[in-house]
A and B are shown apart, each in its own frame.
Chain A
């Protein structure tokens, strides 16, 4: 763990070094708060507004309100971020009446940062010291590698692994794949049995990004001055070529994810594996109830034999939005919400979140075996995956646009015109155009 941690700091230091154009940067986390704006506590009782779409969050907040009469939090729940809540945040920030705290997914954070929608809470009491309590890569997501900056507190994450039909693999005498090469070979054998090894989700571009993430690829980088867009890196190309091959040979289905037919396909045993995030465990058990007890979870197949890299799909932070009158109290609440064992346990129970706090692995909910997965302790697999997620992954500031353009290209590739790689190349160009049109500096 220690070595891993060093890598993170080194990576951030490198980015900061570029930003400060050559200043030597050996700063560690304890210095982080030094440059941040002062963050002073308000006098007297305060009321904070918190907008989220995690179900049951109001119950979690009741715990806090009972213990903190001076800092009362009011929860508003609405549609999830991309279904309108982010746009509302931007409107409200512009009008000066945004909630103090808002749920923001990691891939949307850079957009808020670029539009100056976040308060820097690094100077608030306890924030800089909290770094150790969170899974390394999630902390990188909320600091953007900027020196002396923390813009949100990590809430949850989606480390990825492979759900697979243990019974079907055993009956067919096929080895459970541990590398992508084996996975492709298994796909052929499963196709011969009349089923699919998995479904390719054309509209879940963030799933695809998770695959690239596992392969050590980077889609975006920011040196503090301009953005580097790199959807077509060699790692990205390797992933795209791999799935294009499976698609061309008709070895994977292309149903719309999370649709009724998609659920039915899993429920009827048409799908043998699903490489997905930890939250997928519930999706699967409710969407495919007839296959209870037949599933198991293994680490993601690897690009290199004997590797242990994992990708990540999803996850959110609790951000203090620009214009909050009480950033100190808001930061205090956000830290409690995402580290307090009782709060985490309840948020998991009611909202199904997989906390970004390292202590999450100690939660009772993740300790035992899960019946749906044949009694396997599946959360151990995800805890390992979480520790093996590459900490250097940066999202771009216009992910909604990038997702849409790449997804359109994926759809076309599935329809037979172009390839996944063409889609990435097109997405690359569209993203650069979009950044330029918003006057966001891009390096080419």
Chain B
């Protein structure tokens, strides 16, 4: 295919994917009434001012609830993805580098977890957490977010490919313990995969909606996705929420965009390695 045809196709798709985000950007600079009465994909004369007003109202409405939601999401997604990555890396590394009975069986069981959608697990999890009286707490959202079967898969593939057995032998001969070897030698070699796992987990937890919906009653604990959903369901009662939901949605995708741009270099090399094997 010629170069220009490829560019054209990519251009069309870029436009297709960016239009909703562009709409979000322009609409967040409008007042409730202007949303319906002005051109949907362009700004109004006093867009900048309205945007700042909307932003101010967003963070002050309901005693600063939105800020709290953002912090919750950052906590669930940031800490959850960090710990989740460490667990997945250790698990995948162990499956790749140690010979033990039942290794393949364990790996296959973990892998089958990739096939089960998180939504299907929400209700059983709710009943389990009810039993130990942890529903409507941060733990109810945090603990289930720590496991990532896909992360284990990726870590195993990458560890097998990028951590040479000879290097581990050398480390052992030099007197380094297994744990120390893992953290000082192996994780560095696995870094691209770890970043990929971290990003995957971060996005998955940030966008997680169904689990918090079922687990949480107290809106102070809501992540930003659930909070915006709750506001959106109240628009018919409080129409002023319409513009807050829109500007809130814009603010809520910014951390994801930042995370992607910052970690992009590592991200692509990690994906490639997983794909070939």
Q: Do A and B actually bind?
A: yes
List residues of A whose CB falls within 8 A of some B CB. 49, 51, 53-55, 76-80, 83-84, 87-88, 91-92, 94-97, 99, 258, 260-261, 263-264, 267, 279, 282-283, 286-287, 289-290, 351-352
Chain B contacts for A261, CB-based, 8 A:
36
**Can you name the residue of chain A whose Cβ is closest to the Cβ of B241?**
A55
Which stretch, B42-50, B76-84, B122-130, B262-270, touches the partner chain A? B122-130
What is the minimal beta-carbon distance from A289 to any residue of chain B, in angstroms?
Answer: 5
Chain B contacts for A83, CB-based, 8 A:
229-230, 233
| Known contacts A97-B130, A264-B37, A286-B32; A80/B217 CB under 8 A | no
6 residue pairs from A and B, CB less than 8 Å apart: A55-B238, A76-B218, A78-B216, A267-B37, A286-B33, A351-B237
Judging by beta carbons under 8 Å apart, are A352 and B237 in contact? Answer: yes
Chain A contacts for B233, CB-based, 8 A:
53, 79-80, 83-84
**Can you name the residue of chain B whose Cβ is closest to the Cβ of A80?**
B233
**Can you name the residue of chain B whose Cβ is closest to the Cβ of A258?**
B236
Chain B contacts for A78, CB-based, 8 A:
216-217, 219, 230
Other 19 A-B pairs with CB < 8 A, given A83-B229, A267-B33, A290-B33: A53-B230, A54-B237, A55-B234, A55-B237, A55-B238, A76-B218, A76-B219, A79-B213, A80-B233, A88-B213, A88-B217, A91-B214, A96-B130, A99-B217, A260-B36, A264-B36, A264-B37, A267-B37, A287-B36
Q: Is B104 an interface residue (CB 8 A)?
A: no
Q: Is B240 an interface residue (CB 8 A)?
A: yes
The docked-state distance in angstroms from the alpha carbon of A287 to that of B36 is 9
Which of B130, B226, B234, B239 contacts A80, CB < 8 Å?
A: B234
Chain B contacts for A55, CB-based, 8 A:
234, 237-238
- Interface-central residue, B123, B217, B240, by most chain A CB under 10 Å: B217
Chain B contacts for A80, CB-based, 8 A:
233-234
Judging by beta carbons under 8 Å apart, are B230 and A77 in contact? Answer: yes
Judging by beta carbons under 8 Å apart, are A76 and B239 in contact? Answer: no
| Known contacts A55-B238, A287-B239, A352-B238; A260/B35 CB under 8 A | yes
The docked-state distance in angstroms from the alpha carbon of A279 to that of B239 is 12
The docked-state distance in angstroms from the alpha carbon of A351 to that of B236 is 11
List residues of B whose CB falls within 8 A of some A CB. 32-33, 35-37, 123, 126-127, 130-131, 133, 135-136, 213-214, 216-219, 226, 229-230, 233-240
- Interface-central residue, B36, B214, B229, by most chain A CB under 10 Å: B36
What is the minimal beta-carbon distance from B209 to any residue of chain A, in angstroms?
Answer: 10
| Known contacts A53-B233, A83-B229, A282-B239; A76/B123 CB under 8 A | no
**Can you name the residue of chain A whose Cβ is closest to the Cβ of B239?**
A286
| Interchain residue pairs A-B with the least CB separation, the first 8 | A95-B130, A286-B239, A264-B36, A83-B233, A79-B233, A76-B217, A79-B230, A80-B233
The docked-state distance in angstroms from the alpha carbon of A267 to that of B233 is 22
Chain A contacts for B214, CB-based, 8 A:
84, 87-88, 91
| Known contacts A84-B213, A264-B36, A286-B32; A97/B234 CB under 8 A | no
The docked-state distance in angstroms from the alpha carbon of A289 to that of B35 is 12
| Known contacts A53-B234, A77-B230, A264-B37; A95/B126 CB under 8 A | yes
The docked-state distance in angstroms from the alpha carbon of A79 to that of B225 is 12
The docked-state distance in angstroms from the alpha carbon of A279 to that of B37 is 23
The docked-state distance in angstroms from the alpha carbon of A260 to that of B216 is 31
Chain B contacts for A91, CB-based, 8 A:
123, 126-127, 214
Chain B contacts for A84, CB-based, 8 A:
213-214, 229, 233
The docked-state distance in angstroms from the alpha carbon of A87 to that of B217 is 12
What is the minimal beta-carbon distance from A431 to any residue of chain B, in angstroms?
Answer: 25
| Known contacts A260-B36, A286-B239; A49/B234 CB under 8 A | no
The docked-state distance in angstroms from the alpha carbon of A106 to that of B130 is 28
Chain A contacts for B229, CB-based, 8 A:
79, 83-84
The docked-state distance in angstroms from the alpha carbon of A45 to that of B225 is 36
Chain B contacts for A289, CB-based, 8 A:
33
Chain B contacts for A286, CB-based, 8 A:
32-33, 239-240
Chain A contacts for B219, CB-based, 8 A:
76-78
Chain B contacts for A95, CB-based, 8 A:
126-127, 130-131, 135
Chain A contacts for B213, CB-based, 8 A:
79, 84, 88
Which of B127, B216, B239 contacts A283, CB < 8 Å?
A: B239
Chain B contacts for A282, CB-based, 8 A:
237, 239
**Can you name the residue of chain A whose Cβ is closest to the Cβ of B218?**
A76
**Can you name the residue of chain B whose Cβ is closest to the Cβ of A260?**
B36
The docked-state distance in angstroms from the alpha carbon of A80 to that of B36 is 24
What is the minimal beta-carbon distance from B32 to any residue of chain A, in angstroms?
Answer: 6
What is the minimal beta-carbon distance from A430 to any residue of chain B, in angstroms?
Answer: 25
